[in-house]
Amino acid sequence: MTKKRAVPLWFRGFKSSFKTWDQFHDAFHAFQSETYQRFTTRSTTSVPIRNKQIVTSSKARKRAGKKPKKDVTLIPEKDWKIYSKTLVCTHRQPYEPKGKGKRNHNRVRDTKCMARVNVRVTMTLSGSWYLCVNASDGHNHTLNKHSFESYAENRTVKDVELTRAVATLHRAGANAQCILRYLRERTGWFFKFGADLVCSGIDLVWICYVCTGKKPFLEMFIIWCNGTKLLRKLD
């Protein structure tokens, strides 16, 4: 009897199986936001490559005079394009300095974190296919809202139509105050900036930079909506 793998504490509450990759990605995206975790794809294996590996392994066993452990079953390529994905914590990314300065940075993301998630296509006893999700190891850093919101990936532009509307207003000659007023009227939301940005009127400056494409002198410009980042500058 196979011993069931223990679920890491940081992964508890997340489903272990999904019917499609889209379902997994949607659920995992929400899970990361709720638990203040950020993962990136480390490796991906396609179904054709996996099927080739299965056939090659079966032929090698036959040449060696060994009996196959079980019948060779290939993954249906018409239903699945990706066989597996390995996702690792963003704090496992190696730090690559962009300049030649000697100043030490206190917020380097690379902590050699070993937390990882493996997802692969698996066949049930009845012959149907699904995604099996497993997690391993653990985080070697704190998980909190402040750190999560500092990741550049979480400050990207999400609402394409809204940014297009802002760009159109700018081309028509609207100033930053008019654009901000339009955003508030259009969405019904009150925009404000987080405590990490203390400059007054920075939201208006941010809108100008988004429209004109000028490079701002600050690292982060964030518009908040009920506690959720809606927009940021384009790098």
Residues 49-99 have pLDDT tens digits of 999 999 998 888 888 888 766 778 999 999 999 999 999 998 887 656 555
pLDDT tens track for 170-202: 777 776 667 667 766 765 544 443 323 223 333
Least confident of 8-22, 151-165, 197-211: 197-211
Residues 168 and 120 in one domain: no
198 occurs within a structural domain: yes
Buried b (16+ CB within 10 A) or exposed e, 195-217: eebeeeebbebbbebbbeeeebe
Residues 94 and 55 in one domain: yes
Residues 19 and 115 in one domain: yes
Residues 198 and 222 in one domain: yes
120-138 average pLDDT score:
95
Whether the model pTM is above 0.75: no
